[in-house]
C-alpha cells in the first residue's frame, strides 16, 4: 500500500510538471532560432508563415519592398484585425515595383523614414515575441537571385525590447508616405506586374 501511494505521488508530480510546462508555454515563448538562406531558400515563405501566425501586432522596417507574396499576406493579416506598423525607406515612393501603393490601396499606411540617407533595416517583429531580421530584403529578387540570409528568433524578450525601442525611435522621425499617382498608376500596375500575374519577376533588388 505504501509503495502504491509513493508511486501515485510520483506519477501525480510528473503529471503536474507536464501540465505546468504546457501552461508556461502559453505565457512564455520557448527559445528557438531558425535560419534561412537565398536564393530559393524559403525566406519569403518563412516570413509569410510568421505573418499568418500573428495574432495581435506586426512591426516592420524595410528598405526595398517589392514582394507580392509578403504584401498580400499583410493585407490578409489586416483583414484579421492585426495591427500593422510599417516603416519604409524613401526609395519606395519612387520605385516602379514598390508594394507601397498596393498596401495603401488596401488600407495599410506605412510611414517613410527619410531621416537617414538610406533606411536599410529589414526587420519584422511579431506579437512582441518573434524577431525576423537579416540581409534579406522583402523582394522577389532577394528570394530568387540574391545571396541573402534571414534569422528568426523566438523567446528572447530582451532582444524584442531593444528592437521595439529602436523601432519607436525611427517611427518618431518618420513622415507620412507621399505617392505620385501619375508615376504609379495604382491597382492597374499591380494587376499587370504581379498580384494577378504569377509569372511576373520583379526587377527590384
Cα distances from 115 to residues 52, 87, 104, 170, 193, in angstroms, run: 31, 12, 22, 8, 30
Choose the catalytic residue: 127, 156, 171, 200: 127
**Catalytic residue list contains 127:** yes
120 is catalytic: yes
Told to judge if 79 belongs to the known catalytic residues of this protein, a careful annotator would answer no
Preceding peptide of 204 cis, ω within 30°: no
Task: Confirm if 65 and 100 have CB atoms less than 8 A apart.
Answer: yes
Residues 6+ positions from 161 with CB-CB distance below 8 Å? none
- Please enumerate in sequence order all residues whose Cβ is within 8 A of that of 125, keeping only pairs 6 or more positions apart, or say none: 57, 58, 59, 60, 131, 132, 160, 163, 164, 167
Which of 122, 129, 190, 195 is catalytic? The answer is 122
From 78, 120, 154, 164, the catalytic residue: 120
Give the catalytic positions in this structure.
120, 122, 127
Amino acid at each position: 500500500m505504501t509503495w502504491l501511494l509513493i508511486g501515485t505521488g510520483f506519477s501525480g508530480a510528473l503529471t503536474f510538471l507536464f501540465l505546468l510546462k504546457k501552461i508556461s508555454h502559453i505565457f512564455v515563448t520557448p527559445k528557438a532560432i531558425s535560419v534561412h538562406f537565398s536564393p530559393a531558400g524559403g525566406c519569403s515563405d518563412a516570413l509569410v508563415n510568421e505573418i499568418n501566425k500573428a495574432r495581435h501586432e506586426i512591426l516592420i522596417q524595410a528598405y526595398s519592398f517589392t514582394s507580392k507574396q509578403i504584401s498580400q499576406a499583410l493585407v490578409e493579416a489586416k483583414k484579421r484585425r492585426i495591427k500593422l506598423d510599417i516603416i519604409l525607406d524613401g526609395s519606395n515612393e519612387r520605385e516602379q515595383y514598390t508594394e507601397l501603393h498596393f498596401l495603401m490601396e488596401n488600407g495599410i499606411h506605412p510611414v517613410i523614414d527619410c531621416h537617414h540617407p538610406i533606411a536599410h533595416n529589414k526587420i519584422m517583429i511579431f506579437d512582441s515575441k518573434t524577431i525576423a531580421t537579416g540581409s534579406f530584403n522583402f523582394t522577389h529578387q532577394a528570394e530568387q537571385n540574391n545571396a541573402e540570409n534571414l534569422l528568426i528568433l523566438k523567446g528572447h524578450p530582451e532582444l524584442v525590447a531593444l528592437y521595439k525601442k529602436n523601432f519607436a525611435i525611427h517611427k518618431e522621425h518618420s513622415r507620412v508616405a507621399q505617392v505620385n499617382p501619375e508615376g504609379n498608376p495604382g491597382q492597374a500596375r499591380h494587376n499587370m506586374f504581379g498580384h494577378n500575374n504569377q509569372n511576373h519577376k520583379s526587377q527590384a533588388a
